Amino acid sequence: MDAIQSPKVLAQNLRQAWDQVQAQNDELELDLMTATDRVKQFESRLEAQAQDVKCLATDVGVCLAPDINHSDVVVELRWSFDDLQKEIAAKEEQIEDLLLKMKALTSSLEDLQPLLVPEPKKKEKKRSKRLRLKWWKKRAPEQQEVWVRVQHYLEKLQEGLIKQKTTISLLEAKMTILADQMKKEKDCLERQKASRAELQNDFKLLQFDNQKKETLIQSLRDLVDTLQKNCLNKNRGAARFQARNAADHATVASMPTIKCEVLDIDDILPFSGCHKPGDLSNMPVLGKGTYGKVYLGRHGDDLRPIAIKQPVLHSDYRRDMLQQEKLLMNERATKESMVQQLLSGSPYFPKMLGMVTIGDDLCTVMDFIGNKKTGRTYPLYRALTRRFKSNPKLGLINMLQVCEDIIKGIMELHREGYLHNDLKSNNILLEKRSQRWHAIIIDLGLASAMAYAKQRRFSDKRRAEYRSRKIYTYMAPEVVLYGKRNSVASDIYSFGVILESIARKIKFSEVAELAEDCTEQDPLKRPHSMQEILLKMEAISASYY
């Protein structure tokens, strides 16, 4: 751009220089005319003085009479003559000053010769020519010589500047052509960049689709293998085992890059007392459920509190099914550990520390959530139930913040492509951080990939008990009554049940309305995502704040 603009800047500078020369030329003409007029006046005055001298001479002859003082007349004549000489000398000095000015202007004109001067208009040319002719007739020979030199330099200057103006015009035309070519090349380059970026995006999308297809093909192969084994196995309960194992195996297969650290059994110490490492029988029990039991211990490296989840095998299984159930149990523990590891960096889930083999059981080790000093846990249902005296006291604002914590945690789980399938107030722990209670989601034992969601079968008796709100109150009706697979909508229903309990506790009508939307019987009438629920929850919190 500097190369393109330089001729224009040069032309502007040349025009300004020409204007300055014209102004100096006009001043010079005025000074010369004024000097000429003064010389004429001076000559006329000299003639008048000469006449006065002649008159005085005649008067002198008259004044030679004896009664006149001749010395006074002579003195007076000398004074007048001296005054005339001084005045003539002053005029000569003025003329010399004017000549010096004209020489300086001539030298400046020689310096400005290579600059560009625009052609004067016709009227200005005629007017300046008349002035020069009028003034030329009145000039002295020396002044005429100076003026001739000035005119000569001006003509040369105009010729050189006209040539340079033509050259600059050609350069400007070439610059314009080059600028157009550069603009076209730039547009072409931008189009090439855009097309290249589009091709790169298409390539990435194709790669992503290819990876998804490969994962799906591998998962389908695993399912086919499972079905083949299921058809060959004719023992009672094999179909149920294979179906459960296929869902867990598909979830594990969807996380090929997730690796869990393997801990040494010597790192699993009791929470208090001196007992053998890895001896779960001497550790306090934090909680137990259908598929596992959680113990409180300490990590051998830094003695921080940890939670050890041990899978539980029911005693009512037949002997020929025990081995299969053990395999299923270990598969579920592996799946839970991998999902926990995937979410380990989230503030809404416990940090995964690793896996350890205790006896024949594959146990999951994670950070303890609760009071680190006393080893006490605070499930959400304790804060919502009055019958527990030691329950944590949460104000309205803190309870709304807990709701947002749960929503954000489920959002992260769904964003990774997994379902919780077991959301309830027992599986939400509270821990005080940064001067407020935070919610942490636990128990991912029933979690599954969205693409391979679980499908459970319930007996008529169980369905009747569900209708009477005796069991499975946190589960969606389409899952229990109609045998539908778990989905995002079923997780939203389970969260709505938790939100109902919170709304009853804090007596907040807007929260109750949101809970009612989440627990609609028709899954299509519920909010479509946890993101939508979060926006509504934030609006409720903002209206209260």
Q: What are the binding residues?
A: 309
Q: Parallel, antiparallel, or unpaired for β 418-419 and 361-367?
A: unpaired
Residue 349 near residue 440, CB atoms below 8 Å: yes
DSSP per-residue codes, 487-507: -HHHHHHHHHHHHHHHHHHHT
337: tokens are 């550990």
Residue 253 near residue 265, CB atoms below 8 Å: no
Strand partners for 306: 297, 367
The CA–CA distances, whole Å, from 133 to 125, 138, 320, 483 equal: 12, 9, 134, 117
Q: Which residues are annotated as a binding site for ATP?
A: 309
Residue 278 near residue 268, CB atoms below 8 Å: yes
458: tokens are 């319930």
Q: What gap in Å lies between CA 171 and CA 526, rounded to an integer? A: 72
Residue 267 near residue 277, CB atoms below 8 Å: yes
Residue 283 near residue 271, CB atoms below 8 Å: yes
Q: What gap in Å lies between CA 294 and CA 240, rounded to an integer? A: 26
Q: What gap in Å lies between CA 254 and CA 252, rounded to an integer? A: 5
Segments in 112-140 forming alpha helices (H): 122-136
Residues 20, 26, 32, 34: what is their CA dihedral angle, to the nearest 10 degrees? -120
Q: What gap in Å lies between CA 545 and CA 533, rounded to an integer? A: 18
Among residues 461, 467, 262, 242, the alpha carbon closest in space to that of 352 is found at: 262
